[in-house]
Each structure stands twice: as structure tokens, then as C-alpha cells.
Structure 1
Amino acid sequence: MQEISRVLGRVDEIRRKMVDDESKVLFDARLRFMFDKDFYEFSKAMFSLERKWIIPYLDKTYNFDNDYSEIVLWGCGKDGRHVRSLLARSKYASIPISFVTNNMSQWGQTHEFEIDNLNVVRTPIISPEELRSRINNAVIIISSIAYRCEIMDQLGSYGAKMEQIVYPFTYFGYRLYGERETPQYFDLFEANSNEIFLDVGANGGGTATDFVKWCGEKGYKAIYSFEAHPRFIDITKEYFKNNNLHDAEVVPIAAWDKKDTLDFSISLANGNGGCHVMESANLNSNDWLDASVKVPADTIDNVLSGKPATFIKMDIEGSEYKALVGAEKTIKKYKPRMAISIYHKPEDIVMLPYIISQYNPDYKFALRQYHSGMWETILYCF
């Protein structure tokens, strides 16, 4: 905590290293979230950025050309406004959209918000009876966590079919979410010849394929995929074999700040699945599955033993800071470009760029958001 307080005194310096306005907007929003934990305020900043979102669930589930003609959001609180903002930044912006609520004092009103400096989105708030009259033409998104069972019963009494109803908030997070169109981790840079890629947190090997596509005709020199869990090590090796990836090595350790043995856990905490290492597993908690798996850990510097790296991708569920400490020599000597997940811990927004700046003050930064929730914020370093 003392170190975080010290680093907060360098916030202005870190912000000046952000190379564009999008990065500064996201940095400021993440910094506020570190203190207020207000997702809605973060999402307002995120949706203020002028770009489109893809919404995979709607894309694959509904045909708005033939089967449905409108979208109705049941609930116009913070969750409803978040979903409305997402729709306004997608291809569904041109489809008629309404809020519906059982609160009769809001019927006939219009909710307004700015989508950018030029345009205001106006969304009517209708009554359930008005929805009933056109129920067959609507996709209904339940954008309220409270009373969701009662809302489902009410929709059923109106004749709504289950396939018309979208409930965004599933146990594992958002079913209804937006994705950025551009590829995560490989969005900001163009590949150089003979790239040497450190995929820290391989999780099956798919990112290595994205790396190979990114390199294109320039090719690459080597791939080192760090994966600690025995099950995922085998999956990654099999993936490399099936996809004919040459010069691709699975490094069977967890990237850390020292040589150690750690607990590897599959977490369902807070409704979000994730796999990560811990110095000490909480074996009494129901949040953990598989907490007894012990895995070896070591530093990137020790693994490479002086060999170069040109590009480091790091997505290891909150262990990024420890892994960066263990990569100090590599970063200082070779100055690799990096794409690092910066959303797992609120304080990472300052701690990660700070430590990288300590290794080399010439590093510049950019931030990009790839998910319409709180996840998938990536720090690019170059």
C-alpha cells in the first residue's frame, strides 16, 4: 500500500506518456475506478470514444431484417443505460429502441444522453401494456438485475417466447457484451522481421496463432509460450502440433519475480472464471476449484538466460506486476514492445506503467479497451 501511495505521486508523469486521446480517456477512467469502483462511470467514459462495437450474441441469435423490428430494454437504471450506450455504438443503433418499466411515473418520458459532442440519443420510456401490443416484433433485453424472475413471468403472461428474451447478466458475467473490431494484443504495432514472441499466459495456444497471422509474410523467429497448469500445457502442445507452428516452445512455468512453487487455481470468484497462480491458496473458500495444483514458477530473465525477446504479450490474471519484476533484465536490454493486461487489479493502471518506466524512461504507452465490461483493457508499451 505504501508503494501504491508513492506511485500515485507520479500519475501526471505516467499520463504524459500516453500517446493519444483515447489512451488518456481510458487512463483517467481506470484511475477513477481505482478509487470509486463505479463501473457505470467507467462505461460512460469508454462509450464516449468514437468507435463501433460488435455484439456477438445479437449477431448470431437474431435476424432484424425479417424476424424482429425493434429492441426493448426492460429497466432504465444504470444497467439499462449501459446496454443502451453499447447499442448506440453498434450496428443496432439504427433499429428502434425503447425502455420499458413498471414505474408509471416514467411512462411517456424520454431518456437522453450524449453519444459524442455532436449527437444526443433519445430513447422513449414505454409502459408494459404498450410493449404487450407489439410483443411479437421485439427482442426484449432484461437490463435489470432486480426482479428479473418477476419480469420473466410478466413477459410470459404477454405471450413473449423465451427465444425473444435476452438476459445479459449470467453467472459468468455478461452474455450481452461488445467487442472491439481490431485484434487484441496486436492492434497497435506492425510486425518486424524475425519477431521473438513471449506469450505469457498461453491458455491453449490461440494467441500464438494470432501472432503468426500478425507477422504475415515477414515470418517470425521464435515463440515461447508460458503455461504453468499441466492440463493447459498438454493442450497448448497439441494445439501447436495441430496448427503446424514451427519454432514454438511451451515453457512449463508460471512467470514470477523469483524461482518458487505456487498454487495454481481456477477461480469462480465474483462470477468470473479465471485461472491464476497464488503464493497461498485459500483452501477453505468455495471460490476455488483445483486450488491444490502446485506449479513451478520462475522469472522470464532466468528462462531466457540472456536470449532476446522483441514482443511480450502478458495476460496472467493479476500476476503481471510480479512477472514484470522478473523480466527486468530482458526489458532493459532488449526494449521489447509489449501488450499487457491492465484490468485484473485496480492499482495496475499505475503500477504497471510505473515499473516499466523505471526500467526504461523512454517507453511510451497506449491503452485500448476490447470488452464493453471492465475486462480486456490492454496497455501497449513501445
Structure 2
Amino acid sequence: MKIIKIIMWRINFIIAKISGSLKRLGWMQVFKIILNKPIVKPVAFSLIMQDKETSIGLYKSDFFPDLWIPLQKNPGLDVDQYLFKYDLYHNTYIGDLISRGDTVIDCGGYIGLFTLWCLKKGAKRVIVFEPEKRNYECLRRNLSSYIDSGKVLLIGKGVWSTGGSMGLRLTESGVGHSLLSGVEAIDSTPIEVVEIDTVIQDLVPNERIGFIKMDVEGAEREALIGAKGAIARDKPKMFICSYHLPDDPQVITNIVMETQPDYRVDYTGFASNDRGFIQEQGVVFT
């Protein structure tokens, strides 16, 4: 059965490329993915020091500045996932969507790499949501100078359609933690969730939101409901991940367009699952 799934995945992947669904990927990248080869150069990290109390470590590499990352055997695996998404961000012209002076909302901050990129692009301020405690501590240390200056507002809570408490299902590494049931997890921990609109009103009521990025493991649709005020008022450009649930592309599009019908919508990137189906990595709203 597993071999059949792998074969079907590869067949569907090639069909998706031929049909034009993967137009941002070259054939060389497609073949690398089919053969389970990395399409980005792996990042080699060496551990400089570790904080056993918080289960995080300071890692050195030739690619990044020294970074605090949740302790694991190979943190490069998680960061490689980010680099792959980072490449998708560029291929989906997100670099052109973030403008100098923007107030950005980063939902699913991980260890701060996307936030650092936004600041490099000239963002005025980034509001970062990250509920998992190890990632939060890494963010706090990696972005300390920006937090002190007020350019980064770090929120140790999840994003949802209402405020309250929920269980966060934890994975073994630093990524993939989810509020959804049915997700493979090694543990669960209670976290506080908030509406984005409430946080904006409390922290930056007079600032226009220029860009929103969401990668929150299936909570995107609920988080968008909690951001309807900002979406209707400011019409921020947005990149919303849409590969966590099978109907994400359509459901996410419907929520946004019902809130602000003046958007242009593009579907971009790719994602796949163990059944071999291909769907859009994200929805871009401009």
C-alpha cells in the first residue's frame, strides 16, 4: 500500500507540472522532489551553547547569524523547511508585497526568520504571534534588539476567531504544532488564543496593517475570521498558507472575499500529501 501511495504521488506530481499547476518550479526541481532530493542547500549548524532549562540552543551556521533554535538532533531540517518556504515567498513575489513602512502581522513566528526578512525589507513594525513556549523564547532572544526598540511586538498566543484557551498539539521538532484535532503529536499544552483585531485595537489602533502572513497549521480560516475588521478596513496584502486542510484554498478565499470583495486572488506554490494529491501552497491577496 505504501509503495502504491508513493507511485501515485509521483504520477500526480508530474501531471500537476505538465498541466501548469507547478509553473514556478523548473523540471530539475520537480525531479529532485520526486527522487526525494533537497531542492535547497542544507544548512549545517553547530551548537554553541544550550539552555537546558528552556530546551533551546544557540547555533552557528555559514548562512544565518547565530540563532536560538529549539534543541534537536538536526535543526537544519526545520530551517530547511523555512528556506523552502522562503524560496516560495520570493517566487510568489511576496518580496514585492511588503513595502517600506508597512506594519506587518506574522502569524506563526517560529524563531523569527520571516520577521527578520520583513524588517530587512523596511517594515515599520512586525506583530509576531507564536504560542509554543520554546519557539517564543527563541523569538524573544533572536529579536531582542527589535523588541526593545518597539519594531517587533511579540505575542505569546495563538490566533483564532475568538479569545480563550485551547490545547496546542506539539510535534517533536520546532514546527508543525497545531490547534487542530487529529494531528500527530507527542504532547499537548494549553495556550491562550486571541483575535487579531483585538490585539491591533489594543496595541496599534492608529496604524494601518500593510501585510499579513499566516502559517498556523490549519488555524488560518479561524484566524482570518478574527481579523475581519483589519481586512475590511485596511485591505492588507496577504499570503495565507492553504495546504493544511483539503478545502483550505476555497474556504480561505471565501472568508476573505466575503469580508473584502475588492481583492485580486492568486493561488501559488504547491503542497502534497501522502495520498498523492497536489494543492496550492498559499493564497495571495492583493
Q: TM-score range by the shorter chain?
A: 0.5 to 0.7
For the residues of structure 2 that align with 1:263 and 1:347, how far apart are their CA atoms?
23
Structure-2 residue corresponding to 1:328: 228
Q: Which of 129, 133, 139 is equivalent to 1:236?
A: 139
Q: Structure 2: which amino acid aligns with 1:325?
A: I
Q: Structure 1: which amino acid aligns with 2:198?
A: N
- Contact 2:24–2:269 (CA<8 Å) still a contact in 1? no
- Contact 1:223–1:248 (CA<8 Å) still a contact in 2? yes
- Contact 2:179–2:219 (CA<8 Å) still a contact in 1? yes
CA drift at 1:245: 8.4
The reply on whether 1:203 has 2:173 as its aligned counterpart is no
Moved over 6 A (4+): 242-245
Q: Once the two structures are superposed, what CA deviation does each residue of 1:294-353 show, in whole Å capped at 9, x if it has no partner? A: 110010011111443110000000000000010011100000000010000011011001
Structure-1 residue corresponding to 2:17: 47
For the residues of structure 2 that align with 1:375 and 1:241, how far apart are their CA atoms?
37
Structure-1 residue corresponding to 2:123: 220
For the residues of structure 2 that align with 1:340 and 1:81, how far apart are their CA atoms?
23
For the residues of structure 2 that align with 1:348 and 1:357, how far apart are their CA atoms?
14
SS in 1 for 2:261: coil
Q: Structure 2: which amino acid aligns with 1:228?
A: P
CA drift at 1:359: 0.7
CA drift at 1:277: 1.8
The reply on whether 1:354 has 2:258 as its aligned counterpart is no
Alignment root-mean-square deviation, CA: 3.8
Q: Structure 2: which amino acid aligns with 1:47?
A: K
For the residues of structure 1 that align with 2:217 and 2:111, how far apart are their CA atoms?
15
- Contact 2:271–2:280 (CA<8 Å) still a contact in 1? yes
Q: Once the two structures are superposed, what CA deviation does each residue of 1:108-153 show, in whole Å capped at 9, x if it has no partner? A: xxxxxxxxxxxxxxxxxxxxxxxxxxxxxxxxxxxxxxxxxxxxxx
Q: Structure 1 53/334 Cα, relative in aligned 2: closer, same or farther at 3 Å?
A: farther
Q: Once the two structures are superposed, what CA deviation does each residue of 1:69-88 show, in whole Å capped at 9, x if it has no partner? A: xxxxxxxxxx999439x99x
Q: Structure 2: which amino acid aligns with 1:257?
A: S
Q: Once the two structures are superposed, what CA deviation does each residue of 1:214-233 show, in whole Å capped at 9, x if it has no partner? A: x2xxx221110001122221
Tell me the matched-pair count.
224
- Contact 1:253–1:296 (CA<8 Å) still a contact in 2? yes
The reply on whether 1:255 has 2:159 as its aligned counterpart is yes
Tell me whether 369-378 or 324-333 shows the greater mean CA deviation: 369-378
Unpaired runs of at least 5, structure 1: 1-37, 56-78, 91-171
Q: Structure 2: which amino acid aligns with 1:258?
A: T
Structure-1 residue corresponding to 2:193: 297
TM-score (norm. length: structure 2) = 0.66
Q: Structure 1 43/231 Cα, relative in aligned 2: closer, same or farther at 3 Å?
A: same
Q: Structure 1 260/44 Cα, relative in aligned 2: closer, same or farther at 3 Å?
A: same
For the residues of structure 2 that align with 1:370 and 1:80, how far apart are their CA atoms?
15
CA drift at 1:41: 5.4
SS in 2 for 1:277: coil
For the residues of structure 1 that align with 2:134 and 2:147, how far apart are their CA atoms?
20
Q: Once the two structures are superposed, what CA deviation does each residue of 1:139-175 show, in whole Å capped at 9, x if it has no partner? A: xxxxxxxxxxxxxxxxxxxxxxxxxxxxxxxxx9xx9
For the residues of structure 2 that align with 1:227 and 1:325, how far apart are their CA atoms?
18
For the residues of structure 2 that align with 1:226 and 1:40, how far apart are their CA atoms?
36
Q: Structure 1 242/297 Cα, relative in aligned 2: closer, same or farther at 3 Å?
A: same
Unpaired runs of at least 5, structure 2: 1-7, 41-76
SS in 2 for 1:354: helix
Q: Once the two structures are superposed, what CA deviation does each residue of 1:254-310 show, in whole Å capped at 9, x if it has no partner? A: 100001101111247xxxx611124xx67xx9x32221x111001001111144311
- Using the aligned pairs only, state the percent identity: 19
Q: Structure 1: which amino acid aligns with 2:164?
A: D
Q: Structure 1 376/349 Cα, relative in aligned 2: closer, same or farther at 3 Å?
A: closer
- Contact 1:338–1:380 (CA<8 Å) still a contact in 2? yes
Q: Structure 2: which amino acid aligns with 1:323?
A: A
For the residues of structure 2 that align with 1:369 and 1:259, how far apart are their CA atoms?
31
Structure-1 residue corresponding to 2:65: none
